[in-house]
Amino acid sequence: MRQKVTIHSLQEKVRNGEKITMLTCYDYPMALLEEKAGIDIILCGDSMAMTVFGHENTLGMTMDPMILHAQAVRKGAPGAFLVGDMPYMSYQISPQEAIRNAGRYMAEAGCDAVKLEGGANMAKTVEALVNATIPVMGHLGLTPQSIAQLGGFKSQGRDAEGAKKIIEDARILEEAGISLLLLEAVPPEVGAIIAERAKIPVIGIGAGPHVHGQLLIVHDALGFFDAFTPKFVKKYLDLNSSILEALENYKQDVVEGRFPQEEHCYKFKAGELEKLYQQLE
């Protein structure tokens, strides 16, 4: 078993110039594999609304299923730094509501931190969570819970005014007490400026190579989600094609009588089959 990843070991990686690895995960089997691969940070993300439950966006997730999935991920990846994603309207209503819901992640799922979206408007909520001893990961740039305001899944900070706002929000969130920051779908120059100024680990998902680490949605990285593919995704596998081929082969084997065969069947204990036939006469 590897040594537990902590906020201090992540900070040490940044100081040593080592890149941080981060992936999403929603279940126990995948968590086992990410743990074996040595992924530093695992995000139990509300992206499961789309990748697992088939919704058009992330707004449909609530705390109960998020907690359930985070518990499964924690069991499979005890050594990773586990971040629980705060779903839509679980923290925006009030700091007190945010503490109540974030506390569930920490107590019920064993998370190491929670993640919430937003900039200066979330500073008081971040402060309240930190004062309640709950570590926080901020999230700036493309914030999926705000797609109604953003007009869809669009990259952010591509003009000077927008970039300055994200840079300023990063500073405000760090002053409010976040332990980590996630930047999504921004130009690499924005990622570089924020990472250079920050005293905390800055992780990018579509934020260029100059941040301290990278995140991908695991279903995107494995080619297991075909609804759409963001520009920043690198596919390391075409899992959909492999699984489909296996399912088609299974169907064909069953239809044509090639499965199951003798090696897939259980056998009676010696002499017991004869006894059964005698009892049935």
Question: Which residues are annotated as catalytic?
Answer: 184
The string of DSSP letters for 219-275 reads HHHTT---S---TT---S--HHHHHHHHHHHHHHHHHTT-SS-GGGS--PPTTHHHH
Pairwise CA distance, residues 125 & 69, whole Å: 24
Pairwise CA distance, residues 162 & 155, whole Å: 11
- Say if CB 43 and CB 215 are below 8 A apart: yes
Pairwise CA distance, residues 189 & 16, whole Å: 22
Q: To 10 degrees, the CA torsion angle through 19, 20, 25, 28?
A: 110
Pairwise CA distance, residues 25 & 70, whole Å: 9
* DSSP H or E run through 46: none
Total residues belonging to the chain: 281
